[in-house]
Amino acid sequence: MKYSYTALCLLLSTAIQAQTPAEWQAAFQAPPQSAKPRVWWHWMNGNVTKEGITKDLEWMQRVGIGGMQQFEANLGTPRLVKTPVVYGSEVWKDALHHTAAEAKRLGLEWTLSAAGGWSETGGPMVSPAEAMKKVVWSETRVTGGQLFRGKLSAPPAVAGPMQDAALVDPQAGPDAPKPPSFYKDFSVVAYRLPATDVPMRERKPTLTASDGKANLTSLTDGRLSTSTIVKVAPGTNTAWVQLEFAQPFRAEAVTVGAHLLGGFNPVPASGQVMASNDGKNFWPLTTLPGAVHRPAPQLTYSFPATTARFFRVELRPVAKDIYDISAGLNAVLGNTKPPTEYAISEIEVLAGARVNRWEDQAAFGLMYEYQSVPTALTTSAVPLGQVIDLTSRMRPDGSLDWQVPAGRWAILRMGYSLTGITNHPAPPELTGLEVDKFSKAHVTSYLENYLAPYLKAVGDQPGPQYLLLDSWEAGVQNWTDQMLREFNARNGYSATPFLPVLAGRVVGSAEVSDRFLWDWRRTISDLLADNHYTTIAELAHKKGIKLYAEAPGAALGTLGDGLKSKGRVDIPMAEFWTENPGGFRAEHQADVLEAASAAHIYGKPIIATESFTDVSRPYGPPAYLKYMADHYLGLGVNRFVIHTSVHQPLDSLKPGITLAIFGQNYTRQNTWAEQAVAWNAYLARCSYLLQQGQFVGDVAYFIGEDAPTAAPFWQAQRPAVPEGYKFDYVNAEVLATAKVENGRLVLGSGMSYRVLVLPDRLTKTTLPLLQKLQELVAAGLVVSGPKPVASPGLAGYPAVDTQVRTLATELWGGTDGQANLLNTYGLGRVYWGKPLADVLMALQTPEDLAYSKPHLNTTLSWIHRQDQGQHVYFVANQQYQPENLDVRFRVTGLVPELWHPDTGLREPVSYQIADGFTTVPLRLEPYGSVFVVFRQAATASSAAVPYAVPTPVQTLAGNWQVSFPKLFNNTTLWRPAALQSWTASGDSTLRYFSGTATYQHEFKVAKKALGGKLLLDLGEVKEIAEVSLNGQPLGILWKAPFVVDISPAVKAGTNKLEVKVTNLWTNRHAGDARLPVGQRATFATNAIFGNVLPVPPPLPSGLLGPVVILKQERRIQ
């Protein structure tokens, strides 16, 4: 049997004298409240009792949780308490007052969600005029040379994502109110139609489809509210619709509204559009890429002008959903079969030029990369200066008198209606429209009205210390009351001449239209940061409250700027979900990196995460969750907010009320609720050390100026930051106030970096940014990245492009990214095409951390912080295998120490200092972790510290007595012949038992064996063990190796060992699933018994052993 040193010494180390403030050592041993994890605390559909509140909060305080973040939610949760605590009622006010009093008594941080449900900011206090809005329009075509006197048709007043498409929100509960119809005009514009722009309907094409029974008349009615179901062709996975014209038809674009049916949140189909002259031989015109994130209900694809008699749209299943939360839910819910039919609302072949994917570009939907969809060149654009503003001529009833100039004209009556999104998933009493995020006035009104009842209810008690904004699930909006005024002020030109672009028309040219839409999206993104997040933070501050925010959250939930929005709040927050080993989802890693970067570059000490969210594994034990925590600690997290600890109003319901299928059931009614103190202490110790000082990063990685702006998760980051280095994302806002000191980029937050990296995809920059780069490079900054060739927006175009090219040529000199890779400018340098690792080495900046790799898959998660000359490195093994490796740190002249976050103990370690590095041999257990702390000055260039070698001296086999408590009227005493899983027992009471069983064993130790350290190795444990010897508690063991020092308690002669082992609720659920409802011992609202989630089999449980006594000796490495 082989034993490794590192995990054992976690329990055996002795204290070392500290040369730095004693607070570090004391706080690491007993972490302060600021370092402790928080939990989300959901009140589900009024199921609240004051007794339950007290018990919940006392448990949190008892097991080392620092605070709770309260939500009022509803996911079809039945009302189970005698008197539901309904929003606004007297019992609700009393419960809030009690919560405030108890949080104060127990010293818990109380955070309140900023809306009912978890997204976003809305409720019954929001009127339609204050709600989220979108642009809508109607088109009237007229012939010139005469007076037009008539009434313009009213644009749709339907609440939904676009035009007359009704809202479909799979996350809104059945009690969500039906959104009202609402409409207001804002503009009327007219433009001359190109001669080639003939509506398809005038040519009356014949439609056929793969499904001969489909009624295709609705496909060309111009309405998104009607649709036709078209089945796939027999024996294929492809459906198609064909349009046949009597005469060749000239086309420049096609509009397709087609979605896969079935599953959670159906997405657009993929496929292609083809043309033919004979109906047999087709050539491709464009590809339908599928979802490509969160698209509008219809999508228009431009292509070079083509003339043909036949046009065919082929629809196929989506090959891959990059952001696969919907795919994940579909898998959990069993919706994984390939689609056999498609819902098609509209297909139109367009003779006039259209902006490519204008629906998404104008913010009716969302894409990852807008630069990847440039509009095809066209000669049929609406000329600049030929868009006529008729707004003042239209009467309130929509009637218009206008002497129409010669030619064929289109009149757009433009206004806005509601997106219809409601906050969710909230109790019906707290559900209403989402507030207009772009209006400071409306956001202010909402928050004042939302907070007032809460603050009044707490009365003489302290109110919440924080508000919380969860990740964005409110969709997109592209209008607000003052949109044109905001756009004009922010961009320096009027949007009115370009309003037809919002309806897809090409104005001026493809280039001009795409640039206008870039400015449009940038304005939307800035409004979200300035008028939503900033307004909420400022208003909260006036009330003495601070703000947590997943702003706007993982996976690009809306058209926003992640860094800028997170920089507006007090505690930037991200989220991560549980994963299988090695399967960390890209959107969660990007979100955490973005939150950490925002905290670093805007000077905020805490980086929080919604942690361990799940959809099918509600009872994850600490040993399963640890490697995920370690991974995200290495990305910058220093405060965990565990998802979720649903309020438990009734002790009689166990495990009790849940957040449906979501999250960890991390409550006082969890089987290992009391043992959670050890897991919470681990998270707190890690968080404490990583809250000290300042992050160390060598690379500032420019995130770009486009909108939306987010840390990229949909593709690989290019160039990749080399292994051994850390980086922060930076944006134009923080660069605007940056300076250069000693060749390093220094931000206002105090963060500094050796090199600024521009991503490979960057081809355009605004002139102010490029001018700032010129200033910084001249002062000594090193920039690595491609040479920009233009400005992205329309302001100043086309002259601004010349300015950008001239300045870029000055900065980049003769570099071309291939043969010539370096230009020296002022005191700085600009690289283009040189590998980033080579750039860093040329700057004499070697890896911050490097390590040997004994295995091909050896992987460490790590991060480095420094504080006034002290250095803290967190190092974690990300593989379930022991690692014996050498780790090289870019620190010299200081002595390393090992600080063990699972125990709070510290110890010396061997080291060697040479060539500006300190190399430390580390022995890490599977998923093991440690802090390497450099504090005191080294008096020698190396040191050899004895390491522990455990030797087995006795196996504790046989004569084990296992007692199971009175649980649900069962009591059992078990005497297994050998240690084995409870599930191996023939007794169903044991096989399906969930809870804590007590193992007792007596063994003898000779007096001569008492010298030195004696350890107890429990072998395999499922899941958590509490060890006592001779009545003396020795600690809680929650991960392998399950080893504890028994030296303080062992004695010569007979010793009495007690091991309490706790498993998961899964086993009792598995047993209850076999029983009628009335005979079940457990109750949970996580849908396991509702045939929504599969019932898992019972898991191995108990003390599996072998249990061995070890004698520890120390040897020099």
The whole-number pLDDT of residue 17 equals 33
Q: Is 774 in a helix, a strand, or coil?
A: helix
The whole-number pLDDT of residue 369 equals 78
Q: Using an 8 Å Cβ cutoff, are 426 and 72 in contact?
A: yes
Whole-model pTM: value is 0.95
The whole-number pLDDT of residue 1012 equals 87
Q: Per residue in 448-489, pLDDT tens? A: 999 999 999 999 999 999 999 999 999 999 999 999 999 999
Q: Using an 8 Å Cβ cutoff, are 609 and 632 in contact?
A: yes
The whole-number pLDDT of residue 328 equals 52
| Confidence class for position 388, pLDDT limits 50, 70, 90 | very high
The CATH class that applies to domain 198-351 reads mainly beta
Of the candidates 789, 793, 773, the residue with the CA atom closest to the CA atom of residue 781: 773
The dihedral over CA atoms of 876, 879, 881, 887, expressed in degrees to the nearest 10, equals: -40
Q: Using an 8 Å Cβ cutoff, are 242 and 312 in contact?
A: yes
Is 546 a residue whose pLDDT tops 60? yes
Domain chopping of the chain, boundaries: 5-17+847-944, 22-125+421-695, 198-351, 701-842, 953-1064+1099-1116
Number of H helices, E strands in the chain: 21, 55
Q: How far apart are CA 596 and CA 552, in angstroms?
A: 14
The whole-number pLDDT of residue 374 equals 80
User: Has domain 22-125+421-695 been given CATH number 3.20.20.80?
Assistant: yes
Is 1092 a residue whose pLDDT tops 60? no
| CATH fold match for the domains 5-17+847-944 and 953-1064+1099-1116 | no
Q: How far apart are CA 1066 and CA 1051, in angstroms?
A: 39
Average pLDDT over residues 930-948: 96
Q: Using an 8 Å Cβ cutoff, are 291 and 321 in contact?
A: yes
Q: Is the dihedral of CA 114, 120, 125, 130 positive or negative?
A: positive
The dihedral over CA atoms of 156, 157, 159, 164, expressed in degrees to the nearest 10, equals: -10
Q: Per residue in 601-652, pLDDT tens? A: 999 999 999 999 998 788 999 999 999 999 999 999 999 999 999 999 999 9
Which tokens belong to 382? Answer: 């609406």
Intra-chain end-to-end CA distance of the chain, in Å: 20
Is 323 a residue whose pLDDT tops 70? no
Average pLDDT over residues 157-181: 84
| Buried-exposed string 647-685: b where 16+ CB fall within 10 A, e elsewhere | bbbbeebbbbbbbbbbbbbbbbbbbbbbbbebbbbbbbb
| Confidence class for position 15, pLDDT limits 50, 70, 90 | very low
The whole-number pLDDT of residue 292 equals 67
Which tokens belong to 430? Answer: 């707290």
| Confidence class for position 682, pLDDT limits 50, 70, 90 | very high
Which tokens belong to 751? Answer: 């963060």
Average pLDDT over residues 997-1025: 95
Q: What's the DSSP call for residue 832?
A: S
Is 264 a residue whose pLDDT tops 60? no
The whole-number pLDDT of residue 168 equals 80
Assign residue 715 a region (left: φ > 0; alpha: ψ between -120 and 50; beta: otherwise): beta
Average pLDDT over residues 725-736: 99
In degrees, rounded to 5, the angle at the alpha carbon of residue 99 between the alpha carbons of residues 97 and 105 is: 105
**Helices 676-690 & 622-633 angle (0-180, nearest 10):** 10
Of the candidates 543, 628, 640, the residue with the CA atom closest to the CA atom of residue 35: 640
Average pLDDT over residues 505-530: 97
Going from the C-alpha of 284 to that of each of 248, 253, 271, 276, the distances in angstroms are 17, 13, 11, 9
Is 4 a residue whose pLDDT tops 60? no
The whole-number pLDDT of residue 336 equals 54
User: Has domain 953-1064+1099-1116 been given CATH number 3.30.590.20?
Assistant: no
Average pLDDT over residues 222-241: 91
Average pLDDT over residues 67-93: 96
Of the candidates 230, 225, 253, the residue with the CA atom closest to the CA atom of residue 241: 230
User: Range with the lowest mean pLDDT among 327-336, 346-355, 1018-1027, 1041-1050?
Assistant: 327-336
Mean pLDDT of the chain: 92
The whole-number pLDDT of residue 330 equals 53
Of the candidates 199, 284, 275, the residue with the CA atom closest to the CA atom of residue 244: 275
Is 3 a residue whose pLDDT tops 50? no
More confident residue, 321 or 462: 462
The whole-number pLDDT of residue 1117 equals 61
| Confidence class for position 969, pLDDT limits 50, 70, 90 | low
For residue 284, the cross-strand partners are 274
Of the candidates 369, 529, 421, the residue with the CA atom closest to the CA atom of residue 162: 421
Fold annotation for 5-17+847-944: Immunoglobulin-like (2.60.40)
| Confidence class for position 537, pLDDT limits 50, 70, 90 | very high
Average pLDDT over residues 171-186: 82
Amino acid at the residue 437:
K
The whole-number pLDDT of residue 16 equals 28
Which tokens belong to 853? Answer: 């790799």
Q: How far apart are CA 591 and CA 632, in angstroms?
A: 11
Is 295 a residue whose pLDDT tops 90? no
User: Range with the lowest mean pLDDT among 310-314, 376-380, 918-922?
Assistant: 376-380
Average pLDDT over residues 811-828: 98
Q: How far apart are CA 653 and CA 650, in angstroms?
A: 6
The fraction of the chain above a pLDDT of 70, given in percent, is 93
User: Range with the lowest mean pLDDT among 39-48, 80-89, 434-443, 981-990?
Assistant: 981-990
The whole-number pLDDT of residue 714 equals 85
Is 557 a residue whose pLDDT tops 60? yes
Amino acid at the residue 666:
Y
| Confidence class for position 313, pLDDT limits 50, 70, 90 | very high
Q: Per residue in 127-136, pLDDT tens? A: 999 999 999 9
Q: Between β-strands 860-867 and 906-908, what pairing exists: parallel, antiparallel or unpaired? A: unpaired
For 450-506, the DSSP string reads: HHHHHHHHHTTS---SEEEE----S----B-TTHHHHHHHHHSS-SGGGGGGGGTB-
Q: Using an 8 Å Cβ cutoff, are 1051 and 1030 in contact?
A: yes
Whose tokens are 């196996």? That residue is 955
The fraction of the chain above a pLDDT of 90, given in percent, is 81
The whole-number pLDDT of residue 335 equals 53
Is 89 a residue whose pLDDT tops 50? yes
Q: What are phi and psi of 669, to 5 degrees?
A: -105, 10
Is 398 a residue whose pLDDT tops 70? yes
Q: Per residue in 855-907, pLDDT tens? A: 999 999 999 999 999 999 999 999 999 999 999 999 999 999 999 999 999 99
For the chain, how big is the Rg over CA atoms in Å? 32
Q: Per residue in 590-601, pLDDT tens? A: 999 999 999 999
| Confidence class for position 973, pLDDT limits 50, 70, 90 | confident
Is 230 a residue whose pLDDT tops 50? yes
User: Range with the lowest mean pLDDT among 456-465, 747-756, 1073-1082?
Assistant: 1073-1082
The whole-number pLDDT of residue 319 equals 60
